[in-house]
């Protein structure tokens, strides 16, 4: 079975400071990892994905994520947070070798303080 | 990436009635997925809808409660049957088009309130 853990329900960061939203995963095979963002009353927007290759993945809106196989982590990062980044962030995983089912984490609410 | 149109965007329904949610995609896709997002919760996969075959339901979800149609490669419906207040959620459809290029695309969701 595959699973995703987002240990923080909420992350608060001051505008202009770097932000990190944590994610760890578990799959039996090779992971296919995603980050999505959900703004209030909106659907999910794709931010970035990791399949293979460079461990640092760059995505939309200046976000990036670092894949760490030994720690089974895929933390989302941004060098300088904006107030407009305040939203709900979901990490997700599927097993590359398995059925096309994507499992989502519980979500982390990011609050950027002006 | 694929563009998804999901209808209705929101509805308030009476207990015991049914609501059908539509998901239209601008590209032909093999697999479509239906998710539920209960208030303050993460997304839970309800079922996978394949064209030309029965939907595959996840544990805890049954066809009688959530019948799904997939008549062609660009359209699917999810019906929430015999609704109760516990069915109040956001329901989202998702597709994978060019999986390893675009990831999974989501519709804007249907916010259902059952009273």
Reported as a single tens digit per residue, the pLDDT across B28-74 is 888 899 999 998 888 999 999 988 788 999 999 999 999 999 999 99
Q: What are phi and psi of A83, to 5 degrees?
A: -55, -35
Residue B89: its pLDDT value, please? 96
B107 touches chain A (CB under 8 A): yes
Q: Smallest Cβ distance to B108: which of A43, A49, A104?
A: A43
pLDDT per residue as tens digits for the range A38-92: 988 777 898 999 988 889 999 999 999 999 999 999 999 999 999 999 999 999 9
Residue of chain B whose alpha carbon sits nearest to that of A49 = B103
Neighbours of A28 (CB within 10 A): 10
| B111·A34 Cβ contact <8 A | no
Q: How far is B106 from chain A (nearest CA, A)?
A: 6
Q: Do A101 and B48 touch (CB under 8 A)?
A: yes
- Using the Cβ of B41 and the Cβ atoms of chain A, whether some distance falls under 8 Å is answered with yes
The SS3 of residue B100 is: helix
Residues of A in contact with B107 (CB under 8 A): 43
| b/e sequence B8-47, b meaning 16+ C-beta within 10 Å | eeeeebeeeeebebbbebeeebebbbbbbbeeeebbbbbb
Asked if the model's pLDDT at residue A10 lies above 70, the reply is yes
Which residues in chain B have Cβ-Cβ distances shorter than 8 Å to A49?
103
Coil/strand/helix, residue B51: coil
Name the band, by pLDDT with cuts 50, 70 and 90, for residue A14.
very high
């Amino acid at each position: 079975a595959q699973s995703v853990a987002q240990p923080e329900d909420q992350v608060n960061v001051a505008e202009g400071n770097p932000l990190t939203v944590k994610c760890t995963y578990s799959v039996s095979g090779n992971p296919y990892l995603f980050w999505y963002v959900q703004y209030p009353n909106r659907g999910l927007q794709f931010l970035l994905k990791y399949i293979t290759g460079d461990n640092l993945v760059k995505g939309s809106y200046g976000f990036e994520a670092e894949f760490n196989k030994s720690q089974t982590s895929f933390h989302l990062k941004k060098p300088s947070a904006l107030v407009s980044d305040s939203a709900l962030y979901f990490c997700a995983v599927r097993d590359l070798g398995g059925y096309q089912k994507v499992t989502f984490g519980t979500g982390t609410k990011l609050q950027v303080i002006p | 990436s694929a563009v998804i149109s999901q209808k209705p965007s929101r509805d308030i329904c009476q207990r015991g009635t049914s609501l059908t949610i539509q998901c239209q995609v601008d590209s032909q896709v093999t697999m479509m997925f239906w998710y539920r997002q209960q208030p303050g919760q993460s997304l839970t996969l309800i079922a996978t809808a394949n064209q030309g075959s029965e939907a595959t339901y996840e544990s805890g979800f049954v066809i009688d409660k959530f019948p799904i149609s997939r008549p062609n490669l660009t359209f699917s419906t999810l019906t929430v049957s015999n609704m109760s207040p516990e069915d109040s959620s956001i329901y989202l459809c998702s597709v994978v088009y060019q999986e390893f290029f675009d990831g999974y695309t989501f519709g804007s969701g249907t916010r259902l309130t059952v009273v």
